[in-house]
């Protein structure tokens, strides 16, 4: 029977590993649909940004209460999953609590720490469920948050609660079995799970073992299933937050990235020196971005890293004043389009030639035209996602490829080109307003 359990454990781990590898490989291919992006400069600053923003959750603490609850869940899962190491060894070797005899009383202390964090995770998830479904926090709403996004968030929270109960149930029944079965080592009392013991008192040893083993299997299978599920969920940010922050745009906010080929061409037309100019390509493929392959791979990784928390949208002045733009939706749409194209290519379909595109079929001109380019969304994002970069690239496509910008914008563009200012007057008249200040008063 023990050998069957060990074989079953290895099969479960192998199946989970296979699906996890397959999904990670597909996500990588989807991200690499984007163009190359040079983001390997200033490595000390990049490491610092990753440690502060992703690991230290620096930007989360702009909202202290949800930040504290999120920190409990974050630390809880990091520390509690250390116990999974023992699960894995026990599963492979056919042992039970293999570390208990070696660590003695310290083992009891460790499990009590794990249980304390499990209770913290459990309570935090309950509060998050209440915030989402009872209190109806505004930033969790929106047209893009219907059906699957809302269900996904609730499923994750409920799964975390059940997994924490599985740990407590396993420990409670384990304590009742100790002394009645030689395979169960004496571990001392676990503070929180002892309160569940009355629920199982009076059961036979065989029944207790059945409950304990069920809870053990439920937890390990749940962890492995959770790992696979996360790759399809907004909770993929658990892993991608780290590379996403490392590859952040370190330039000052507000500094827009120009197309180098066009910048050099304008400089040459104006007789300005061009430093380190590369040989221009025979033909520029596309001005701006119409579909995901026109974006950079960093843009697409940003989309996969989106937590769907809505902090960007809640800070967006366009959204606040009733415009259609939601930076969160921009990122979700980009991810959905990358998923659609990637799945089509994997199935031998049309891929990018399916007659659809990110701009038009997913994101409308009304949305991108509403953006004020203020960078509020970039500043608000807890993992340094940059929706503005995608918006600007799509606006560049509309302006330069389709000549489809609003008429008032085209007038401004023309004025900038001819008069070097948004207003229609000669550059020589620019400072005439100051002449009145220099006149002596009567």
Read off the pLDDT of each residue in 188-215 and give the average, rounded to a whole number: 91
- Outline where DSSP puts E strands in 132-184: none
Which pLDDT score is estimated for 287? 86
Which pLDDT score is estimated for 158? 93
DSSP-based three-state secondary structure for 181: strand
Helix and strand numbers, DSSP H then E, in the chain: 19, 0
| Residue closest to 121 by CA, chosen among 152, 165, 90 | 165
- Outline where DSSP puts E strands in 290-358: none
Residues 6 or more apart whose Cβ sits within 8 Å of residue 54: 241, 242, 244, 245, 246, 383
Burial of 172 (0-12, 13-18, 19+ CB in 10 A): buried
Which pLDDT score is estimated for 24? 95
Q: How far apart are CA 123 and CA 11, in angstroms?
A: 33
Q: Residue 270's pLDDT band (boundaries 50, 70, 90)?
A: confident
Please, what is the average pLDDT of the chain? 88
Dihedral (C-alpha) 83, 86, 88, 92: value to the nearest 10 degrees?
-170
**Does the residue 295 lie in any domain?**
no
**Does the residue 398 lie in any domain?**
no
* Lowest mean pLDDT across 36-40, 237-241, 365-369: 36-40
Read off the pLDDT of each residue in 50-78 and give the average, rounded to a whole number: 87
Q: Which of 199, 228, 246 is the last residue of a domain?
A: 246
**Does the residue 163 lie in any domain?**
yes
Asked if 184 contacts 172 with a C-beta cutoff of 8 angstroms, the reply is no
**pTM for the full predicted model:** 0.87
**Does the residue 237 lie in any domain?**
yes
* Lowest mean pLDDT across 169-173, 269-273, 330-334: 269-273
Asked if 118 contacts 167 with a C-beta cutoff of 8 angstroms, the reply is yes
**Does the residue 178 lie in any domain?**
yes
Q: How far apart are CA 358 and CA 123, in angstroms?
A: 40
Q: How far apart are CA 391 and CA 206, in angstroms?
A: 62
Count other C-beta atoms under 10 Å from residue 295's C-beta: 26
Residue 1 has pLDDT above 70, yes or no: no
Phi-psi region of 134 (alpha: psi -120 to 50; beta: other; left: phi over 0): alpha
Which pLDDT score is estimated for 296? 93
**Does the residue 156 lie in any domain?**
yes
Which pLDDT score is estimated for 3? 76
Task: Return the bridge partners of 181, or none.
Answer: 178
Residue 21 has pLDDT above 70, yes or no: yes
**Does the residue 77 lie in any domain?**
yes
Q: Give the residue, 207 or 62, on which the prediction is more confident.
A: 207
* Lowest mean pLDDT across 219-233, 338-352, 395-409: 395-409
DSSP-based three-state secondary structure for 363: strand
Q: Residue 440's pLDDT band (boundaries 50, 70, 90)?
A: low
Q: Give the residue, 412 or 51, on which the prediction is more confident.
A: 51
Q: Residue 282's pLDDT band (boundaries 50, 70, 90)?
A: low
Q: How far apart are CA 35 and CA 33, in angstroms?
A: 7
* Lowest mean pLDDT across 170-179, 309-318, 375-384, 426-435: 426-435
Residue 281 has pLDDT above 60, yes or no: no
Residue 232 has pLDDT above 80, yes or no: yes
Q: Which of 221, 246, 271 is the last residue of a domain?
A: 246
Q: How far apart are CA 221 and CA 205, in angstroms?
A: 24
Question: What is the residue whose two structure tokens read 């994002």?
Answer: 381
Residue 442 has pLDDT above 60, yes or no: no
Asked if 330 contacts 264 with a C-beta cutoff of 8 angstroms, the reply is no
pLDDT in tens, 285-344: 788 899 999 999 999 999 999 999 999 999 999 999 999 999 999 999 999 999 999 999
Q: Which of 246, 275, 309 is the last residue of a domain?
A: 246
Which pLDDT score is estimated for 189? 87
Residue 212 has pLDDT above 70, yes or no: yes
DSSP-based three-state secondary structure for 178: strand
Which pLDDT score is estimated for 208? 93
Q: How many domains does the chain have?
A: 2
DSSP-based three-state secondary structure for 35: strand
Read off the pLDDT of each residue in 350-378 and give the average, rounded to a whole number: 93
Residues 6 or more apart whose Cβ sits within 8 Å of residue 438: none
Which pLDDT score is estimated for 387? 95
Q: How far separated are the first and last CA of the chain, in Å rounded?
A: 107
Which pLDDT score is estimated for 25? 96
Domain that holds residue 422: 404-432
**Does the residue 394 lie in any domain?**
no
């Amino acid at each position: 029977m023990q050998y069957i359990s060990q074989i079953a454990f290895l099969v479960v781990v192998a199946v989970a590993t296979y699906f996890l590898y397959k999904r990670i490989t597909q996500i990588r291919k989807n991200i690499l649909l984007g163009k190359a992006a040079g983001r390997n400069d200033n490595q000390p600053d990049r490491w610092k940004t990753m440690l502060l923003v992703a690991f230290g959750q620096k930007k989360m603490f702009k909202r202290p209460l949800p930040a504290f609850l999120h920190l409990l869940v974050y630390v809880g899962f990091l520390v509690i999953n250390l116990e999974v190491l023992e699960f894995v060894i026990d599963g492979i070797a056919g042992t039970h609590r293999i570390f208990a005899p070696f660590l003695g009383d310290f083992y009891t202390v460790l499990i009590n720490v794990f249980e304390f964090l499990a209770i913290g995770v459990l309570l935090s998830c309950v509060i998050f469920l209440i915030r989402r479904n009872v209190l109806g926090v505004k930033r969790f709403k929106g047209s893009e948050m219907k059906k699957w996004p809302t269900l996904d968030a609730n499923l994750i929270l409920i799964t975390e609660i059940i997994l924490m109960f599985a740990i407590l149930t396993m420990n409670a029944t384990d304590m009742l079995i100790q002394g009645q079965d030689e395979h169960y080592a004496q571990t001392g009392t676990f503070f929180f799970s002892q309160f569940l013991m009355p629920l199982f008192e009076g059961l036979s040893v065989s029944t207790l073992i059945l409950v304990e083993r069920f809870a053990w299997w439920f937890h390990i299978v749940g962890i492995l299933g959770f790992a696979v599920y996360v790759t399809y969920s907004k909770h993929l940010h658990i892993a991608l937050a780290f590379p996403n922050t490392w590859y952040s745009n370190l330039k000052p906010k507000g500094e827009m990235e120009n197309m180098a080929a066009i910048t050099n061409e304008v400089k040459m037309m104006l007789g300005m020196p061009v430093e380190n100019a590369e040989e221009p390509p025979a033909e520029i493929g596309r001005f701006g971005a119409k579909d995901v392959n026109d974006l950079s791979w960093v843009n697409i990784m940003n989309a996969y890293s989106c937590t769907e928390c809505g902090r960007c949208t809640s800070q967006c002045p366009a959204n606040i004043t009733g415009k259609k733009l939601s930076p969160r939706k921009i990122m979700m749409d980009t991810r959905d389009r990358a998923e659609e194209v990637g799945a089509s290519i994997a199935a031998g379909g049309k891929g990018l030639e399916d007659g659809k595109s990110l701009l038009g079929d997913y994101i409308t001109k009304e949305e991108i035209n509403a953006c004020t380019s203020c960078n509020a969304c970039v500043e608000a994002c807890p993992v340094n996602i940059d929706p503005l970069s995608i918006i600007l690239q799509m606006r560049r496509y509309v302006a330069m490829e389709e000549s489809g910008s609003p008429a008032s914008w085209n007038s401004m563009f023309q004025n900038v080109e001819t008069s070097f200012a948004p207003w229609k007057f000669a550059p020589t008249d620019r400072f005439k307003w100051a002449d009145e200040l220099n006149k002596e008063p009567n």
